[in-house]
Amino acid sequence: MRILISNDDGIHAKGLEALRQNICGLGDVFVVAPDRERSATGHGITVDRPLRIKEVHYKEKNTHGWAVDGTPADCVKLAVEDLLPGKPDLVLAGINIGPNLGTDVLYSGTVSAAIEGLINGIPSIAFSLACHHCEPDFSNAGPLVAEFLPQVMRHSIPPNTLININIPSGKPKGFKVTRLGSRRYVNIFHKREDPRGRIYYWMAGEPMELDKDTSGTDVKAVEEGYISITPIKIDLTDYKTLDMMKEWNL
């Protein structure tokens, strides 16, 4: 089996290493990841400059790596189109430092790496450690991924669907299959003045849950200490409204 790994925290991130070390027994591993942190770059791609690559060497013989000075989507695109000896059987993204829950998946570089895998017709899974203001500890998450993968492979992921997984910090209570929660951020911008008297803004903010009923959401599962597993489709078409609009006589 040929496995492609990417992330948005950069090729030297602890979470990517935890993922790589725990799955390197499952097949040939190819790491193609940004050369620096590119979190929250969503599905951005680089078209206004060339992309540079640098080979990264691992001691395991079945592992090859390249750092790319682009986004997660760039990395997966480049891996599939040129760097790998053939199409990967599986794309894994992460393990991200920090959660990728609810609406946040739209901003996530980690989830976007998996989306790029999906666009290329490859089963893809995104992993995140749902640890906000704590020292990230992958000692539970890494082995959990290795345990989980063969189970998923047995069931096979439907085409056009990716799996988004959030692992709580500490020892999880178990797995929950969830839907994406709905959240937006409040108090986002910190307005400050620079030493030359010019105003600048720094984006931060705290998530506010918009769901009246949070039962079954990824946010709730992680809050309760469970590993959240959400199947995500990238077809954003609203078919119900599409049918309704056919009656509009435009």
- Residue 63 is a binding residue for Mn ion (CB under 5 A): no
Pick 28 or 128: Cβ nearer Mn ion: 128
Q: Which residues pair with 191 in a beta bridge?
A: 201
Binding segment (CB under 5 A) for Mn ion, from list 9-17, 59-67, 148-156, 198-206: 9-17
Pick 96 or 169: Cβ nearer Mn ion: 96
Size of the site for Mn ion (CB under 5 A): 4
CA 232 and chain centroid, separation: 12
Among 3, 5, 6, 9, binds Mn ion (CB under 5 A): 9
Q: Which residue has the tokens 């450690």?
A: 129
Pick 9 or 116: Cβ nearer Mn ion: 9
- Residue 178 is a binding residue for Mn ion (CB under 5 A): no
Pick 28 or 34: Cβ nearer Mn ion: 34
Binding segment (CB under 5 A) for Mn ion, from list 3-11, 156-164, 179-187, 234-242: 3-11
Instruction: Characterize the bridge pairing of strands 90-97 and 2-6.
Output: parallel
Largest CA distance in the chain: 64
Binding segment (CB under 5 A) for Mn ion, from list 5-13, 78-86, 133-141, 172-180: 5-13
d(CA 125, CA 128): 10
d(CA 201, CA 138): 33
d(CA 43, CA 176): 27
Q: Find the helix or strand (DSSP H, E) in which 90 lies.
A: strand 90-97
- Residue 39 is a binding residue for Mn ion (CB under 5 A): yes
- Minimum gap (Å) between residue 84 Cβ and Mn ion: 23
Among 6, 8, 73, 232, binds Mn ion (CB under 5 A): 8
Measuring CA to CA, how many Å separate 236 from each of 17, 106, 115? Answer: 33, 11, 13
- Residue 230 is a binding residue for Mn ion (CB under 5 A): no
- Minimum gap (Å) between residue 38 Cβ and Mn ion: 8
Q: Which residues pair with 193 in a beta bridge?
A: 199
Task: Name the residue type at position 33.
Answer: A
Pair of tokens at residue 171: 């020892």
Pick 8 or 28: Cβ nearer Mn ion: 8
- Say if residues 116 and 72 touch (Cβ distance below 8 Å): yes
- Residue 164 is a binding residue for Mn ion (CB under 5 A): no
Pair of tokens at residue 225: 């200490």
Name the residue whose CB lies closest to Mn ion. 39
Which residues, 88 to 107, sit near Mn ion by CB under 5 A? 96
- Minimum gap (Å) between residue 19 Cβ and Mn ion: 13
Q: Computed over its alpha carbons, how large is the radius of gyration of the chain?
A: 19
Report the interface residues with Mn ion, using CB under 5 A.
Answer: 8-9, 39, 96
